[in-house]
């Protein structure tokens, strides 16, 4: 068979296994995996390289206004470019509904931002901020269009009530949508935040105690309880505490469809970074906040043991200036500083280096955590996230031995919170549908090369998901849980 | 020493031990406990009787409008009388704040209901329905007056938000007040309730599935999290699930000041009682609802093992007619039926019979669960709830061998949900401050004989309670809980 | 490229994904996976079929004397043949050390049984019955030969003490061996067993209460504690209780390398099967015993949620006659009846039918549970258990729609405990290294066609397994576990 | 009534409450508690003092050879004297069976040691070292004589197997005996100990890692499982880990009759004390070993929350010389050093000072933990451990404000591990059956003044203990525990 492109000589790594093979690509798809693929117009030599499914960044904020109204510094060009240089060939930013806006309109608005600029294939997670009955009624159509996941907040101005959450979960569960949730107890955060500020504790370092782990544990427990009642699948974003990870694992062992992710910052940084002098700590303000080293170690164990299914960046690029972190001025308390840090380009190298290179996780776990699990959970398997026949040729070619000190990235940011960390293992070539997006230090793709990815609904007959029975009105939900 | 009254020949039982002694009473107080008390104007022969601290009913609704606006059938006369016939010599009904009302006024209103009528000493738990800043500011005064506990709801129209709950807990914790909470997740209940009714499942039996155990477990976990953050003591009323009892026990083992009670209905009845034909099931509608037999068995174990500190009646007397259960008419769905059942007179005999007589708990546990623990938790020790010098001579004299089939009670109700149960062990004489309130089947006390009991604040240096440190703004609350 | 064999038109299912592709095989290995494989000497049409990695049966007793000295009815011919008809293309029976025997000798003895007869590729788990220092010293050589896993017992005459267990784990952990354990507390079983028999409770049905779930939970907790101290990986065989599954999941979430399996009998049968009249219940005597339906449901959830990594048959074929079950006679108590039941041919169809067909697990979970996870945990990836380039062409072609009532199998047994169950989904063709072993109802392979599989040690730098640090003598193992 | 002695003006504290009263004593018993006791031959002025039940030391080694054959430095004179100066009026040392010895003989031997010398009332816990069928058959007689508790070991040469443990528990449970257990996994300790020594890690500080918390957690879980199967009550001695305390609390919440104690050393010292220079660390070698500060904090919470019922000294007085710690010489490894430390005189002052004075526990919890709970659990209520009519006048009069630095004690030891700690709250007068044992710094009692205390069996109808049903052979013990 004739191929457009062959990747030869590499070691293939999937979520399952590592083996020697060549890959043959035609019309953007993998059409052959074989001992030797010879008949190709173009060849990439992957000798001494690892050939993996390109990363799928499943949690990032691109061309999106924050809850505080601050626009991210990255648009779909700089954001997708930075992601590509970090080994990703697909990403799923958020499309945030405005109050009063139809979801169709939200998607259309974001299409206008993404389509002309993205060098990566993309999809959206919607952010539901206004779950009116009309909006809930619109959800099945949105799922049918391929936007099959959406996020709600349990904190911020955009938070949903438990009642709204139940209605949302119920609709989503019935129609195969996956509800994602930012789980922190709003009132606990607000109460602590006000206490801190009222007590004159306004420096960035007070961000951490203002958002206690208790607030995350409480909210995760509540979200799982609501999902169990509504019989809907649930995904907990950016888990930062062992108690949260444990609740997720227990829910699954008790028959629930509950998954979760953590982020590199919770595995690599600590709240001591918030103690940096002056306003420097502002660079490390994200939510949930950075925790302590014992928490970090325990989270690694949950990553190793499978409690957590993804490591996502939560790339939220607000510059260290008045357009970003200090949109409300420089002389502010920590509550007025934009929450979030960049990391879309660091996610895979950091996870590889701290995980695979340091022997904490296997290479195959790396693939699962960075790509395949995202594809499965978010309905892109087997098109994305895998090296298999028929799949998009979304491929990252990796040099496991390259060592660099993290420094400036390709995003539109003015700082890198991970700067200075020695990282071993970097991508050298990244393909999207068989095209080179990045080769070495060169961007090969052009703005608009990326395509929208239509995603499947949650597979109710398999993993993730199983048949959602009708609610039995006579069932005694949880009466005798012990 | 000269005594007004001696109780002679009895076996004394306290929360700690059982022994033979006489009791000498003067001016309403126990002044002598001795092998023999001879010098007394009046003598009660307690040979073959158990002499115990009179019961303290710590959860009952008397002369109180329900959230649905239905007045209880019992006022302070019938209520206190029925309690006395059930072995109680003190009770603590609720005083429910009206919206917009000052707490001083609430207490005054209830004083008008209680003082002229009660045959028992009484105190109030306030019910906070309108926790404005002014009302919170009033709390310390209320505690100083001796009303040191109050209830909030996490469900019903009177529910508090988590933010309000935190403010309330914080004030209460600082000033030695004990926050009690009805812990069920409102939105879960409302969502399920509407689903049931919308699906045409309107019979009383659907009350149980409409209030799943999940909703109780979620709310108890949340309440404990909030109390932990606010560093305040907490009491969970009417726990009906093992998961709830377990959360309470774990909180205490982790250093929290959290206590809880269950009720005789959760130990003796099941949701199958709701299945009775016609509207008969309405008699068994209470909240949380009756559960199943496995739940019941597990709750007994938590009572035995000490997870639960009290067994209270939650006497909520709404008659099986248009003045009570069917205030909204006979042709209604279960959500329109008044929640609650009577039981103030059955509590102690049932707990004695099912507990002590059947060998599930010791006699001393009975005393602790029915009287002493209430006195300790609610700030009445050592004046009430104990047989010790200086204590009010509030005494129940018990015939452990008397067997009766439960039937009509002395309350103002038209049914007894426990009717037909064979009960062994009944009170024969009940004293309040040394006066006979009940003797045999006679009421000896007169309306208004009872006095208001001024209760102590939670002892912050001991049990329950320990010093409440100032919040450390740099503390990492719960970040690494595992 | 020229192929010996092509499988065309099928739907491939792996542990990760499901997709359309052809497979090209040469010299027994998969060399091409492609949209179309045209150039082949031989073709299998797999239209409307699922093409999966052949099952790997990782727990079976073949040509092995039981602890009671009873030889299994299946030798490597009937055993491997029955396995093949059940969709397996590889199996790992036990090679049981005799007392005083060197491990080299044990392997040699079993080679004599397996090599001439097996139609499947095979490896062994050793059974250590005599872990003398010499035997432990031999372990690294055995691992180097490719026999990298072995089982110990916590019950039966062959049980190891905790001290022996620690020494074994320590050697195994250091040299990359995986310790498997039958975890039931021997003394609890013996004590209960004697009590049953002494009380005249001798019928087969008393087998279940004689081996309480408590004994399994205790032993699993102990085994995990020992493995944690010795810093060694551990595999728990045939978990039959939720408490056991939960301990395994928790161990992994706490950083332990602990995996486990359950068996179809615990997912499909219950202790009520032991109640059959006469001695019929003897057919259902296995250890651990069958449990109740609530246990079954909870185990399914642990399978779905990933607590349990494999479903293995524990095929232990003792005929329902004097050569097997009744080796000690017909007039015996339950303790004298041989433990075990057949199931090597039923495992995959049952798991497919009860799992995939009924929507409890996904097709990909089925592959993971029946093949890929065994290959990974037991060191055969990527040679076995996967459809990838370079892998042995061990392939099962499945008809997902074929329905049959389970009846007689191809093993050498006189009963099938699963007889009568309707099963949808059966293998139609099974390949081993590219050769047809089974086609339709025909056996195509000849005795001795199978080859020994040399397995890798546990990958200490990846999954499963991570670097085993030297024991730090100053470390406070578990002092403050909470 | 005429009294031999009155205690006037004091504040009485019991396990339940604190109140003002006088106590009248006649013939060694409390016969009157009253506002004022005037008619007495002798008077103690207790103004500004706390009057409490005398301490009951329930875990101490007196005139007993250790497992290593070393005789304690304290006999019944010095031991009881030291205990008395520490506020105790009763103690329960161990009577250790010799191999081959009948229990009657053991008791007789110890009677010879105790009766002529003890200044305190005493009883024994037997230590079963040779649980032959004859010895088990003797147990009911021993219980009938009033020796109703006994200890077994899960480690040391005297350890019992699980099988023996079950037989013992079963006999004890049926006849009302309470089985106490030293719960550490012997093989884990031995394995780690040998590793330490083989690695040249012989200094006292290696004692701590040689006995990891894992070994305690494992053994406690096992002991509880065995007791649950045998349906017998159980007492875990000297719990030193939160995981152990948690298992005890959970067992009780699940219906088990399981209690436990911890010791002052686990609440006040840490493993860092073992790091002292030279062999100084030997003074802090006890078993289980001292743990870290996080463990300590968690244990305090379990004491506060009620998981642990007693704080006992585990007084094991081996001098810091060749008669004790260094019986095997000075140039030894840590495994050859006698395990144990003194503390019988420090227990109550330390618990008072660290507990009550520092606000961690209430005064009433102090009484419960130091006296009343021991009396209840060990069958001495209401004769000992309480201030009630008919009780022995065993009374400690306490000065809550006296502050001393802990230094030399009245025992026969050459060091005090708690030396240097500032302690506020000391006993000033201690009575035994109405006689002054200690007054100020004077010993008033004479050797032999103490009497043997006949103890009740575990109350099978109450607390602790409930009816022990016959084992139901068809019951599925724990099959579906989750």
pLDDT in tens, C64-105: 998 778 899 999 999 999 999 999 999 999 999 999 999 999
Say whether C359 and A461 touch across the interface (CB within 8 A).
Answer: yes
Say yes or no to pLDDT of A475 above 70: no
Band of residue A66 on the pLDDT scale cut at 50, 70, 90: confident
Q: φ and ψ at A132, to 5 degrees?
A: -70, 165
Q: Of A367, A398, A428, which residue constitutes the final position of a domain?
A: A367
Instruction: Specify whether D166 is located in the same domain as D155.
Output: yes
Give the neighbours of chain A: at least 3 Cβ pairs within 8 Å: B, C
Q: Are residues D193 and D63 in the same domain?
A: yes
Higher pLDDT, B191 or A478: B191
Give the 3-state secondary structure of residue B473. Answer: coil
Main-chain dihedrals φ then ψ at residue D480, nearest 5 degrees: -110, 30
> In D, residues 61-100, which contact C (CB 8 Å cutoff)?
none
D201·C163 Cβ contact <8 A: no
What does the pLDDT read at residue D66?
83
pLDDT score recorded for residue C459? 61
Domain identity same for C88 and C153: yes
Q: Is residue B457 included in any domain, yes or no?
A: no
Alpha helices for C289-384 (secondary structure H)? 293-305, 347-351, 363-367, 373-377
pLDDT score for C223: 98
CA distance A201 to B473: 7
Residues D320 and D398 placed together within one structural domain of the fold: no
- D186 and D115 share a domain? yes
Tell me the pLDDT band of A467, cut-offs 50, 70 and 90. very low
The verdict on D230 and D328 lying in the same domain is yes
Question: Does residue C139 sit in helix, strand or coil?
Answer: helix
Tell me the CA distances in angstroms from D479 to B469, C209, C271, C287, D144, one per residue in order.
46, 9, 10, 13, 36
C62 and C43 within one domain:
no
Q: Are C148 and C178 in contact (CB under 8 A)?
A: yes
Residues 342-371 of D with CB under 8 A from B: 356, 359-365
Q: Do the bridges between strand D11-13 and strand D18-20 make them parallel or antiparallel, or are there none, so unpaired?
A: antiparallel
C45 and C151 housed in the same domain: no
User: Using CA atoms in the order D297, D300, D301, D305, what is the torsion angle rounded to 10 degrees?
Assistant: 180
Asked whether residue A174 is domain-assigned, the answer is yes
Chain A residue numbers touching C16 (CB-CB < 8 A):
14-16, 372, 376, 381-382, 386, 388
Q: Is B246 on the interface with A (CB under 8 A)?
A: yes
**Contact: B271, A476; criterion CB under 8 Å:** yes
Cα C92 to Cα C56: distance, rounded to the nearest angstrom = 8
Q: Which of B16, B364, B382 sits opposite D18 (nearest CB)?
A: B382
**Residue span of the structural domain in which C162 resides:** 55-367
Question: What pLDDT shows up at residue A459?
Answer: 61
Kindly tell me if the per-residue pLDDT of B468 is higher than 60: no
Q: Is B246's CB within 8 Å of A482's CB?
A: yes
Determine which of C13, C17, C302 to mutate to test the interface with A (most A C-beta atoms within 10 Å).
C17
Is the minimum CB–CB distance between D225 and chain C shorter than 8 Å?
A: yes
Distance from the Cα of C271 to chain D's closest Cα (Å) equals: 9
Q: Do D255 and B305 touch (CB under 8 A)?
A: yes
- Residues in chain D, overall count: 482
Give a yes or no: residue D202 inside a domain: yes
CA distance D363 to chain C (A): 27
Model pTM?
Answer: 0.95
Could you tell me where the DSSP H helices lie in C161-292?
162-175, 186-198, 207-210, 213-230, 242-253, 264-268
D284, D289, D295, D301 alpha-carbon torsion, rounded to 10°: -90
* Cis preceding linkage at D312, omega within 30: no
- Residue-wise pLDDT tens digits, B76-121: 999 999 999 999 999 999 999 999 999 999 999 999 999 999 999 9
Cα–Cα distance between C390 and C25 in angstroms, integer? 9
Residues B214, A477: C-beta atoms closer than 8 Å = yes
| Mean pLDDT to the nearest integer, B222-247 | 96
Q: Report how far apart, in Å, the C-alpha atoms of A168 and of each of A102, A252, A468, B185 are.
A: 15, 21, 15, 17
For residue A36, list chain C residues with Cβ-Cβ distance below 8 A.
Answer: 1
Question: Cα–Cα distance between A479 and C412 in angstroms, integer?
Answer: 48
Which chains sit next to C, with 3 or more Cβ pairs under 8 A? A, D
CATH of residue D180: 3.20.20.140
Token pair of B34 as six digits = 């001795």
Q: Which of C9, C13, C16 to mutate to test the interface with A (most CBs of A within 10 A)?
A: C16
C-beta atoms of A478 and B161 within 8 A? no
D221 touches D247 (CB < 8 A) = yes
A202 chain-B contacts, CB cut-off 8 A: none
Q: Which of D454, D407, D340 is closest to D90 using CA atoms?
A: D454
C-D contacts (CB, under 8 Å): 179
| Residue D416 belongs to some domain of the structure | yes
Q: Does C461 have pLDDT greater than 90?
A: no
Tell me the C-alpha distance between B12 and B50, whole Å. Answer: 6
Is residue D186 within 8 angstroms of chain C, CB to CB?
A: yes
Please give, rounded to a whole number of angstroms, the shortest distance from the CA of A75 to a CA of chain C: 33
What average pLDDT does the segment A412-438 reach? 98
Interface partners of chain B (CB pairs < 8 Å, 3 or more) are A, D
- Mean per-residue pLDDT for B331-355? 97
Kindly report the number of other CB atoms within 10 A of residue A328's CB atom.
16
Contact criterion met (CB below 8 Å) for B344 and B286: no
pLDDT of residue B465: 33
Q: How far is Cα D308 from Cα D368, in angstroms, rounded to an integer?
A: 11
The model's confidence at residue A454, banded by pLDDT at 50, 70 and 90, is: very high
Per-residue tokens: C314: 């524990």
Task: Name the H helices within A146-212.
Answer: 162-175, 186-198, 207-210
Q: Exposed (0-12), middle (13-18) or buried (19+): which is A400, by Cβ within 10 Å?
A: middle
Question: Cα-flanking dihedrals φ and ψ of residue A19, to 5°?
Answer: -160, 160
Q: In chain D, which stretches have pLDDT less than 50?
A: 460-482
**Is A243 in Cβ contact with B229 (below 8 Å)?**
no
pLDDT digits (tens, 9 = 90+) for A240-296: 999 999 999 999 999 899 999 999 999 999 999 999 999 999 999 999 999 999 999
Cis peptide before C288, with omega less than 30 degrees from 0?
yes
Please give the pLDDT value at position D459: 61
Question: CA-to-CA distance for C210 and C193, rounded, in angstroms?
Answer: 5
3-state secondary structure of D5: strand
Residues A169 and A208 in one domain: yes
Q: Do B301 and D253 touch (CB under 8 A)?
A: yes
Q: Kindly state whether B180 is in contact with chain D, defined as any CB-CB distance less than 8 angstroms.
A: no
- Is C378 inside a domain boundary? no
Which of A14, A18, A301 shows the shortest C-beta gap to C254? A301
CA dihedral B101, B104, B110, B112 (to 10 degrees): -110
B471 part of a folded domain:
no
Number of structural domains (chain D) is 2
**How far does B221 lie from chain A, in Å, by closest CA?**
7
Record: contact D254-B301, CB cut-off 8 A: yes
Distance from CA of A62 to the nearest CA of B (A): 29
- By Cβ distance, the residue of A252, A360, A389 closest to C466 is A360
Is D254 in contact with B14 (Cβ distance < 8 A)? no
Mark yes or no for CB contact D463/B390 under 8 Å.
no
d(CA C341, CA C431): 26
Residues of chain B with Cβ-Cβ distance to A246 below 8 Å are: 482
- Report pLDDT digits (tens) over B56-70: 999 999 999 987 788
B167-179 mean pLDDT? 96
Q: Would A463 be classed as within a structural domain?
A: no
Q: Do C295 and D218 touch (CB under 8 A)?
A: no
Q: How confident is the model at residue B461 (pLDDT cuts 50, 70, 90)?
A: very low
CB contact under 8 A, A34 and C36: no
Dig out the tokens for B122 from the structure.
Answer: 């009484």
C392-412 pLDDT tens trace: 999 999 999 999 999 999 999
Alpha-carbon span C45 to C428, nearest angstrom: 11
Same domain, A261 and A402: no
* Chain A residue numbers touching C362 (CB-CB < 8 A): 459, 461-463
Report cis status (omega within 30 of 0) of the bond before B325: no
Q: Is the per-residue pLDDT at C121 higher than 80? A: yes
* Closest residue to D209, CB basis, from C187, C298, C475: C475
pLDDT(C466) > 60: no
- By the 10 Å C-beta count (0-12 exposed, 13-18 middle, 19+ buried), C401 is classed as exposed
CB-closest option in C166, C295, C471 to D187: C166
Mean predicted lDDT score pLDDT of chain C: 94
Sequence-distant (6+) residues with CB within 8 A of B28 are: B392, B393, B433, B434, B435
Contacts of B191 in chain A (CB under 8 A): 163, 166-167, 229
pLDDT at A462 over 80: no
pLDDT tens by residue, C157-195: 999 999 999 999 999 999 999 999 999 999 999 999 999
Chain C residues touching residue D186 (CB < 8 angstroms): 162
Neighbours of C199 (CB within 10 A): 12
User: Angle at the Cα of C203 (from C197 to C208), degrees rounded to 5?
Assistant: 80
Burial string for D312-340 (b: 16+ CB within 10 Å, else e) reads bbbbbbbbbeeebbbbbeeebbbbebbbb
B-chain residues near D245 (CB < 8 A): 253
Q: Are residues A150 and A173 in the same domain?
A: yes
State whether residue B423 is helix, strand or coil.
strand
Q: Does C5 touch chain D (CB under 8 A)?
A: no
Q: Please indicate if any CB of chain A lies within 8 Å of the CB of B211.
A: no
Question: Is the torsion defined by CA of C224, A246, A293, D291 positive or negative?
Answer: negative
What residues have CB less than 8 Å from C78, skipping those under 6 apart? Answer: C410, C411, C412
Residue B168 has pLDDT above 80, yes or no: yes
Cα D341 to Cα A170, D320, D324, D355, distances in angstroms:
63, 10, 10, 21
CATH of the domain at B12: 2.30.40.10
What integer pLDDT is reported at residue D74 of this predicted model? 98
Clarify whether residues A327 and A395 are in a common domain. no
Shortest alpha-carbon distance between residue D143 and chain C (Å): 24
C-beta atoms of A463 and C252 within 8 A: no
Is A473 contained in some domain?
A: no
Determine the residue of chain C that is closest to D200 in CA distance: C473
To the nearest whole Å, the CA of D243 is away from the closest chain C CA by 5
Taking the CA atoms of residue A137, residue A139, residue A145 and residue A151 in that order, the dihedral angle to the nearest 10 degrees is 160
Contact residues on chain C for D189, CB-CB shorter than 8 A: none
> Residue C337: is its pLDDT beyond 70?
yes
Residue C187 contacts residue C160 (beta carbons within 8 Å): no
């Amino acid at each position: 068979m004739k191929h457009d492109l062959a990747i030869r000589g590499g070691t293939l790594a999937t979520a399952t296994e590592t083996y020697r093979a060549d890959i043959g690509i035609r019309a953007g798809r993998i059409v052959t995996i074989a001992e030797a693929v010879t008949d190709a117009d173009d060849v990439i030599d992957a000798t001494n390289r690892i050939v993996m499914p390109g990363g799928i960044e499943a949690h990032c904020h691109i061309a999106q206004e924050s809850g505080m109204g601050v626009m991210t510094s990255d648009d779909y060009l700089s954001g997708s470019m930075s992601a590509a240089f970090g080994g990703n060939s697909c990403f799923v930013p958020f499309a945030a509904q405005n109050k009063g806006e139809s979801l169709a309109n939200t998607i259309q608005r974001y299409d206008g931002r993404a389509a002309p600029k993205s060098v990566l294939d993309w999809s959206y997670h919607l952010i539901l901020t206004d779950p009116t009955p009309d909006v809930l009624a619109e959800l099945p159509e949105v799922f049918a269009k391929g936007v099959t996941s959406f996020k709600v907040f349990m904190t911020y101005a955009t938070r949903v009530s438990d009642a709204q959450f139940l209605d949302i979960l119920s609709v989503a569960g019935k129609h195969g949508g996956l509800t994602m949730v930012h789980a922190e107890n709003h009132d606990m955060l607000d109460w602590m935040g006000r206490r801190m500020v009222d007590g004159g504790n306004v420096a960035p370092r007070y961000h951490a105690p203002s958002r206690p782990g208790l607030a995350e544990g409480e909210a995760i427990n509540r979200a799982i309880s609501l999902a169990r009642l509504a019989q809907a699948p649930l995904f907990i974003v950016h888990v930062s505490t062992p108690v949260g990870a444990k609740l997720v694992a227990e829910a699954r062992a008790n028959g629930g469809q509950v998954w979760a992710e953590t982020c590199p910052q919770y595995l690599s940084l600590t709240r001591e970074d918030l103690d940096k002098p002056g306003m420097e700590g502002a660079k490390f303000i994200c939510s949930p906040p950075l925790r302590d080293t014992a928490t970090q170690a325990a989270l690694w164990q949950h990553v190793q043991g499978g409690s957590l299914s993804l490591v996502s960046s939560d790339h939220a690029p607000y510059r260290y200036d008045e357009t970003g972190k200090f949109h409300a001025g420089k002389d502010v308390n920590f509550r007025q500083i934009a929450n979030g840090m960049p990391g879309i380009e660091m996610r895979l190298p950091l996870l590889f280096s701290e995980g695979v290179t340091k022997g904490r996780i296997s290479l195959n776990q790396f693939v699962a955590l960075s790509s395949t699990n995202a594809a499965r959970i978010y309905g892109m398997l087997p098109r994305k996230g895998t090296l298999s026949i028929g799949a998009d040729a979304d491929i990252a070619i990796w040099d496991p031995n390259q060592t660099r000190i993290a420094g400036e990235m390709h995003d539109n940011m003015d700082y890198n919170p991970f700067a200075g960390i020695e990282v071993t293992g970097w991508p050298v070539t990244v393909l999207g549908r068989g095209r080179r997006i990045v080769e070495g230090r060169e961007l090969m793709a052009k703005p608009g090369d990326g395509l929208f990815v239509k995603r499947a609904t949650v597979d109710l007959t398999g993993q993730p998901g199983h048949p959602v029975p009708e609610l039995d009105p006579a069932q005694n939900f949880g009466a005798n849980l012990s």
